[in-house]
């Protein structure tokens, strides 16, 4: 099976921040998990470099929009690299291959009769690069997202006949109750559709920074249509000489933030229908990580800057925290102080100490070789069905619930160490069998949780599995007792040291 996962492409008009890391790491966790299942995965992220916000940001800096893109796109790539993100391709909408393919596809949409010239007027937010409908306006004609007063603008441009897709979209939502997840976002998108769809501008006359309309080069395509099509165009040139559309289309999961729901849940499927493509299987809409501000850590201040966190605590700590505290799909508060508490109590103590104790006891009591004994049925019972539970949750992109299932077993193993107290068993020779069983079960449990944690904390998991002498990452191997004893372990430095 193929699994195609995407993030939104990020505007290059600002530096990368936690929100970008959040979505991209979320997609990375799904991609890594699916690779563990043996799926044929393609994972796409990139940058959105056209449109008015980019032009305005470039003007402020006294450079051209292209120069701004060239300066900022590498900063997004750097954040992805440092966050351990395993994307297969990084698209920039200024790639000539993307631009050519956008023209081709939208020419086809025009040829199919979905486009007409007209006059548009309305309240326009230059920072959203979007006209606001009456229901989307803030008080006194402001942008509800940016809080700025909007301009009443009028221009001649080309329209996409979105209104003619009202019925097909309602039918799509009726047939596919998991088209948009979570449920609340599905309801929100459907309500928007049922509220009546007006045709939307497909092009802009006032700006020149964009992809020219092939049948009228005095206009450029409205940045949203250019940007949305990246999910298609990337597959046509990500691997030179190969067209990956047949292999990966439609996307399995498209992750987006709740602020761009309308574009992805309404415009996007309509555009795909107009161009003759299948719509994605699932859109997953996540909430925002809100900074609390008043709770401040000594080393990080009060801003959870992803690069600063990675610098001091490592990428895996950031990856873990983003999906542990706040349920993926909901809004929630994060703070540097909460981050440090989770780092210390969960990563360093619960997982880090479990690992170092287990490895040290196998070394001390059994010469560094995991006993070739059976597994203890008691902890084994608490791992029954765990792989299926994690799979089910991740099939719905519920990253937080899956992580919680795994973490409950990390805690179970810590209780197991206390219950069995191997250091006491080691004192009497006639309890050698019990000690064998305990050490083997501990090492096996640790291996299982580590394989399952791999998508969240890949660097740490690989080091730990190596130290356990069991480097296999396949999800099938994550059943308790799936691997035999006899592996040689190695000591490792603390997994989550004090920074
Ligand atoms: Zn706005």
How confident is residue 270, by pLDDT bands cut at 50, 70 and 90? Answer: very high
Residue 463 reports pLDDT greater than 90: yes
> Residues 135-179: pLDDT tens digits?
788 899 999 888 999 989 888 999 999 999 999 999 999 999 999
User: Percent of the chain having pLDDT more than 90?
Assistant: 87
128 is catalytic: yes
From the candidates 33, 114, 143, 322, which is the catalytic residue?
Answer: 143
Mean pLDDT value of segment 459-488 = 97
295 is catalytic: yes
322 is catalytic: no
pTM: 0.94
Residue 302 reports pLDDT greater than 80: no
- Number of CB atoms found within 10 A of residue 47's CB: 26
| Rounded distance from Cα 315 to ligand 1 centre (Å) | 32
Q: Are 452 and 458 in contact (CB under 8 A)?
A: no
Neighbours of ion ligand 1 (CB under 5 A): 125, 127-128, 143, 145-146
From the candidates 20, 132, 264, 286, which is the catalytic residue?
Answer: 20
| Rounded distance from Cα 131 to ligand 1 centre (Å) | 9
From the candidates 98, 125, 132, 282, which is the catalytic residue?
Answer: 125
From the candidates 98, 128, 262, 286, which is the catalytic residue?
Answer: 128
Query: What crossing angle do the helices spanning 432-453 and 386-395 adopt, rounded to 10°?
Result: 10
Mean pLDDT value of segment 271-285 = 98
- Number of CB atoms found within 10 A of residue 459's CB: 14
Residue 293 reports pLDDT greater than 90: no
132 is catalytic: no
Residue 296 pLDDT: 65
Query: What crossing angle do the helices spanning 315-324 and 399-420 adopt, rounded to 10°?
Result: 110
Distance CA 30, CA 43 (A): 9
Most confident of 19-28, 205-214, 283-292: 19-28
167: Cα within 13 Å, side-chain hemisphere: 1
Average pLDDT score, the chain: 95
143 is catalytic: yes
Mean pLDDT value of segment 19-25 = 96
> Residues 34-51: pLDDT tens digits?
999 999 999 999 999 998
| Rounded distance from Cα 122 to ligand 1 centre (Å) | 14
| Rounded distance from Cα 204 to ligand 1 centre (Å) | 17
Mean pLDDT value of segment 88-112 = 98
> Residues 55-95: pLDDT tens digits?
888 988 999 999 999 999 999 999 999 999 999 999 999 99
50 is catalytic: no
Distance CA 348, CA 350 (A): 6
User: Percent of the chain having pLDDT more than 70?
Assistant: 99
Mean pLDDT value of segment 356-360 = 98
Mean pLDDT value of segment 218-225 = 95
Q: Are 3 and 41 in contact (CB under 8 A)?
A: yes
| Rounded distance from Cα 240 to ligand 1 centre (Å) | 38
Distance CA 423, CA 401 (A): 34
Residue 295 reports pLDDT greater than 70: no
The residue with greater pLDDT, 135 or 277, is 277
From the candidates 286, 295, 322, 498, which is the catalytic residue?
Answer: 295
Distance CA 274, CA 163 (A): 12
How confident is residue 304, by pLDDT bands cut at 50, 70 and 90? Answer: confident
How confident is residue 52, by pLDDT bands cut at 50, 70 and 90? Answer: confident
């Amino acid at each position: 099976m193929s699994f195609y996962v995407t993030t939104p492409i990020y505007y290059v008009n600002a530096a990368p921040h936690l929100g970008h890391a959040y979505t991209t790491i979320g997609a990375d966790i799904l991609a890594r998990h699916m690779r563990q299942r043996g799926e044929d995965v393609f994972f796409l992220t990139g940058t959105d470099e056209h449109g008015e916000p980019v032009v305005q940001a470039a003007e402020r800096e006294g450079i051209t929009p292209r120069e701004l893109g060239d300066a900022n796109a590498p900063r997004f790539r750097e954040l992805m690299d440092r966050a351990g993100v395993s994307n297969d391709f990084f698209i920039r909408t200024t790639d000539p291959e993307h631009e050519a393919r956008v023209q081709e596809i939208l020419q086809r949409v025009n040829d199919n009769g979905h486009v007409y010239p007209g006059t548009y007027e309305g309240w326009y937010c230059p920072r959203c690069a979007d006209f606001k409908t009456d229901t989307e306006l803030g008080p006194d004609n402001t942008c509800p997202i940016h809080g700025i007063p909007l301009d009443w603008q009028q221009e001649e441009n080309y329209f996409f006949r979105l209104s003619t897709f009202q019925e097909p979209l309602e039918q799509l939502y009726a047939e596919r109750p998991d088209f948009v997840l979570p449920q609340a976002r599905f309801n929100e998108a459907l309500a928007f559709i049922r509220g009546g769809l007006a045709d939307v501008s497909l092009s802009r006359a006032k700006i020149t920074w964009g992809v020219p309309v092939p049948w009228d080069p005095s206009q450029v395509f409205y940045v949203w249509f250019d940007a949305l099509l990246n999910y298609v165009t990337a597959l046509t040139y990500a691997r030179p000489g190969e067209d990956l559309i047949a292999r990966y289309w439609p996307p399995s999961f498209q992750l987006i933030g709740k602020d761009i729901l309308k574009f992805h849940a309404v415009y996007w499927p309509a555009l795909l229908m107009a161009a003759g493509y299948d719509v994605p299987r699932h859109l997953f809409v996540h909430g925002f990580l809100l900074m609390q501000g008043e709770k401040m850590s000594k080393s990080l201040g009060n801003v959870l800057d992803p690069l600063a966190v990675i610098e001091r605590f490592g990428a895996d700590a950031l990856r873990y925290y983003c999906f542990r505290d706040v349920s993926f799909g909901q809004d929630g508060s994060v703070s540097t102080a909460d981050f440090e508490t989770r780092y210390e109590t969960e990563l360093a103590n619960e997982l880090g100490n479990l690992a170092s104790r287990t490895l040290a006891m196998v070394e001390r009591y059994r010469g560094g070789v995991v006993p070739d004994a059976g597994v203890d049925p008691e902890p084994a019972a608490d791992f029954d069905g765990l792989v299926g539970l994690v799979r089910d949750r991740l099939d719905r992109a519920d990253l937080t619930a899956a992580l919680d299932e795994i973490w409950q077993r990390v805690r179970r193993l810590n209780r197991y160490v206390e219950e069995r107290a191997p250091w006491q068993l080691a004192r009497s020779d006639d309890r050698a069998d019990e000690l064998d069983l305990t050490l083997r079960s501990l090492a096996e449990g640790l291996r299982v949780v580590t394989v399952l944690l791999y998508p969240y904390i890949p660097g740490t998991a690989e080091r730990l599995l190596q130290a356990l002498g069991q480097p296999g990452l396949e999800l099938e191997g994550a059943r308790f007792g799936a691997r035999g004893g006899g592996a040689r372990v190695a000591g490792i430095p603390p997994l989550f040291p004090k920074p």
